[in-house]
Amino acid sequence: MDQQLQRVLSTKNTLRKQSLSTILDQFDGQLMNLSQSSRKKKYDKMRQDAYSFFRGSAYLFFFDVIDYPFTFHTPDDKPTWIMGDMHFDNFSAFQNESHDIVFDVDDFDEGYLGSYLYDVLRMIVSIRLTANQGDFTKEEQDELVDRYLKTYVKQLEAFQQGEDDPRSLEFTIENTKKPIKKVLKKVEKRKASHELDKQTVIDHDSIRSFDIGKDKLSSVSKQERDELSYAWKEYIASLDPHALKEETYYRIKDVVKKKGAGIGSTGLQRYYILIEGEADETHHDDIILEAKEARTPIPAYFFTYDEKFWEDNKHQGRRVAHTQRAMHHKADTYLGYFSMNGRDFYVRERSPFTKDLKEKDVEDFKSMNRAVKTMAKISAKIHARADADLEEGILDYHSEDAILEAIGSKKKLFRHQLSLWSDHYQDIVERDFELFKEWLSEQEFFKS
């Protein structure tokens, strides 16, 4: 290699690595205040592959793309309620409150107001990274991204024209195809006691408790248990009053800490809580809830400040719960929030009927294409749903109208521009991943 060219490339890599170091230290070190051990656990997950790196560095994504002059942004005065971290692995099968098995989005920690385009951009990059891990060709990746974008716009048009209703559209066994139909059928076969059987044990006195040491569960101190019991009143008060049970229904029977889940959520406090439910002699109505710490969403550090949004969502647990209610037509009846020791938490049921798509489910192009198409429809649904149709919504206009107006008649250009950009940014992610591994090898306290 020419010596001058080598100096140029070396300088570019050095500057980018310095940027990576600054951003990682600012967000994971200063803002998230992760311990060195938590950062090491997170980075060990991120170093597995480029997609894992992408999932764990959402702040880098927003840092990079916030000032890109994309043609199709909605105006600042017409934002969309977005997931804030939409990617391929944030869709799954689960059972809703009507006991229907559905496929939908399942992560609302970064929910915020902003241009819909950030959700779409992050999603199509994740499609490329997922497809690349599955050895799909460049042409197939282009086709998958185009399919996602075309379906997303078409579904928004169906909402606008009244052909579908975002308040009621669900994706079930009846209206999906393999691989999603296959996952839904597997979930349908599960017993209601699946999660209880997996996470708990019953002693000789017929008392159910969590199986400590299993599935990365660990005990809590008496002080933590007492603090949670005190905060539990706030949780019960946060529940939907129309679905509220007697207070004894929510009586805490056992509590454990949950460790090791997710990538971006590494270092956040998380508890599994066993509550009474409908008490009976067999204790089969015990219910497992999950309480997870919620913090300021990553997009908030990059987007325009929205006073009205923050007035309504000062409590970060409430913001997450509010986002889930906005995007799901039937929100979890256990969905609520509380504060403890200066930290905000949201609570939801640890459902026995949840299952993710696996790599083997989308190993051929036909299956991957079908999955991407359904995910595009869901993306359009959650964007169109959280608007003027909602009693608790804070938008006084229809998001689908604002998004389609931004795209206008240039749908082909919309797909072309975003496809080219996502291809470009996938290359950036792949290069950043290599620089990230180099950076890790140079940090003494991450080596051990």
Last residue of a domain, one of 324, 349, 374: 349
Q: Position of tokens 């800490």?
A: 257
Tokens describing residue 38: 């938590």
Tell me: do 212 and 324 sit in the same domain: yes
Report which of 337, 324, 316 is spatially closest to residue 239, judged by C-alpha positions.
337
Tell me: do 315 and 431 sit in the same domain: no
Which run of H or of E encompasses 365? Answer: helix 365-385
* 139 touches 369 (CB < 8 A): no
Structural domain boundaries enclosing 230:
194-349
User: What's the pLDDT at 448?
Assistant: 59
Tell me: do 53 and 142 sit in the same domain: yes
Tell me: do 176 and 218 sit in the same domain: no
Tell me: do 285 and 321 sit in the same domain: yes
User: What's the pLDDT at 282?
Assistant: 47
Please indicate, yes or no, if residue 268 is contained in any of the structural domains.
yes
Angle at 332 between CA 326 and CA 336, to 5 degrees: 80
Tell me: do 260 and 278 sit in the same domain: yes
Report which of 332, 293, 334 is spatially closest to residue 109, judged by C-alpha positions.
293
Last residue of a domain, one of 325, 349, 373: 349
Question: How far apart are alpha carbons 35 and 444 in whole angstroms?
Answer: 15
Please indicate, yes or no, if residue 256 is contained in any of the structural domains.
yes
Please indicate, yes or no, if residue 156 is contained in any of the structural domains.
yes
Please indicate, yes or no, if residue 319 is contained in any of the structural domains.
yes
Please indicate, yes or no, if residue 30 is contained in any of the structural domains.
no
Burial degree of 44 (CB within 10 A; 0-12, 13-18, 19+):
middle
Tell me: do 267 and 162 sit in the same domain: no
Please indicate, yes or no, if residue 19 is contained in any of the structural domains.
no
Tell me: do 345 and 202 sit in the same domain: yes
**What's the domain count of the chain?**
2
Tell me: do 156 and 201 sit in the same domain: no
Query: Omega before 179 cis (within 30°)?
Result: yes
Amino acid at site 328: H
Tokens describing residue 433: 């991943």
Question: How far apart are alpha carbons 105 and 98 in whole angstroms?
Answer: 17
Please indicate, yes or no, if residue 229 is contained in any of the structural domains.
yes
Tell me: do 49 and 173 sit in the same domain: yes
Q: What is the pLDDT of residues 389-448, one digit of tens each?
A: 655 556 788 899 999 999 999 999 999 999 999 999 999 999 999 999 999 999 876 665
Q: What is the pLDDT of residues 216-263, one digit of tens each?
A: 788 999 999 999 999 999 999 999 888 889 989 999 999 999 876 678
Please indicate, yes or no, if residue 321 is contained in any of the structural domains.
yes
Q: What is the residue-averaged pLDDT of the chain?
A: 90
DSSP 390-415: -TT---SS-HHHHHHHHHTT-HHHHH
pLDDT tens for the chain, 448 residues long, are 678 778 888 888 899 999 999 999 999 999 888 888 889 989 999 999 999 999 999 999 999 999 888 999 999 999 999 999 999 999 999 887 777 889 999 999 999 999 999 999 999 999 999 999 988 999 999 999 999 999 999 999 999 999 999 988 999 999 999 999 999 998 888 877 788 888 888 887 778 888 886 667 889 999 999 999 999 999 999 998 888 899 899 999 999 998 766 787 777 899 999 998 876 554 457 899 999 999 999 999 999 887 877 888 889 999 999 899 888 877 788 999 999 999 999 999 988 788 889 889 999 999 999 999 999 999 999 999 977 565 555 678 889 999 999 999 999 999 999 999 999 999 999 999 999 999 999 987 666 5
By three-state DSSP, how is residue 330 classified?
Answer: coil
Tell me: do 184 and 243 sit in the same domain: no
* 309 touches 113 (CB < 8 A): yes
Tell me: do 124 and 70 sit in the same domain: yes
Last residue of a domain, one of 286, 321, 349: 349
User: What's the pLDDT at 283?
Assistant: 46
